[in-house]
Amino acid sequence: MNKKIIITIDGFSSCGKSTLARQLASKLSYVFIDSGAMYRAITLYFLRNHVDWKNKKEVRSALENINLEFVLNPQTGKSDMHLNDENVEALIRDMLVSENVSDVSTDAEVRNFAVTQQRKIGEKKGIVMDGRDIGSTVFPDAELKIFMTADIAIRVERRFKELFEKNPSITIEEVTNNLAMRDYIDSSREVSPLRKAEDAFVLDNTNLTMEEQLKIALKWAKEKLP
Ligand code: DC
């Protein structure tokens, strides 16, 4: 019997899903998968190659030329997103990608492409995957599903601090608009919109430290481990 489980973490943008997923995976010796990185890498490819993502034919042929891989970076100990053998981990966090990724992610073929790979990664279990539709669509039978949320003001503050370090010209207004727009598009799209799976535990971390949220999630995980 496989003693490993699948843990999904979904929620709004900049709730700290990846941080929690990474910490949880490390505590359990599981693999952390940032599904958003896949959508970001696809978006980067489309932008670079001037792919019109409203054109189904263009999307289909572009996807045939995209190879995505998570590759361990020995310097950081983290997995980096590689797009056609190029490390794009830093590039996919650019504002231009952030501004377009939600729109690209509404496309059914793009989602099918990403979801197929996500399910393949999950075959052996022992993963913590974060995203928007992981508990609701990608792994509806996951043993533990967490839905994260936090006040928008807190999320903007956290995201702003993170982005400001790399780009001091970024403004609070830009970050606020980007988060609000992504939340709206991600929640209202037709194909697997962001929503809490019925059996997901809600984790509102507005007033929680990272240690506190990890403690709560670990407790839930231990209850589900065989
Ligand atoms: O997790 P993130 O902020 O890096 O994700 C970027 C975008 O990718 C997000 O705004 C919507 C899309 N996404 C998605 O549609 N489904 C997922 N499972 C993960 C991300």
* Mean pLDDT for all residues in the chain: 96
Distance from the alpha carbon of residue 61 to the mean position of ligand 1, in angstroms: 22
> Which pTM value belongs to this model?
0.95
pLDDT at 106: 97
Distance from the alpha carbon of residue 121 to the mean position of ligand 1, in angstroms: 17
Are 35 and 138 in contact, with CB atoms under 8 Å apart?
yes
pLDDT tens readout for residues 26-45: 999 999 999 999 999 999 99
Distance from the alpha carbon of residue 35 to the mean position of ligand 1, in angstroms: 7
One-character DSSP codes across 159-226: HHHHHHHH-TT--HHHHHHHHHHHHHHHHH-SSS-S---TTPEEEE-TT--HHHHHHHHHHHHHHH--
Output the residue whose Cα is nearest ligand 1's atom 9: 102
pLDDT tens readout for residues 73-128: 999 989 999 999 999 999 999 999 999 999 999 999 999 999 999 999 999 999 99
Q: Does ligand 1 lie within 6 Å of residue 131's CB atom?
A: yes
pLDDT at 100: 97
**Which numeric CATH code is attached to 6-211?**
3.40.50.300
pLDDT at 1: 56
pLDDT at 151: 95
Output the residue whose Cα is nearest ligand 1's atom 2: 36
Output the residue whose Cα is nearest ligand 1's atom 13: 36
Q: Does ligand 1 lie within 6 Å of residue 182's CB atom?
A: yes
pLDDT tens readout for residues 199-217: 999 999 999 999 999 999 9
What confidence category does residue 226 fall into, taking pLDDT thresholds of 50, 70 and 90? confident
Distance from the alpha carbon of residue 186 to the mean position of ligand 1, in angstroms: 8
Q: Which residues contact 134 (CB under 8 A, 6 or more apart)?
A: 8, 9, 10, 35, 118, 142, 145
Output the residue whose Cα is nearest ligand 1's atom 3: 13
Distance from the alpha carbon of residue 119 to the mean position of ligand 1, in angstroms: 16
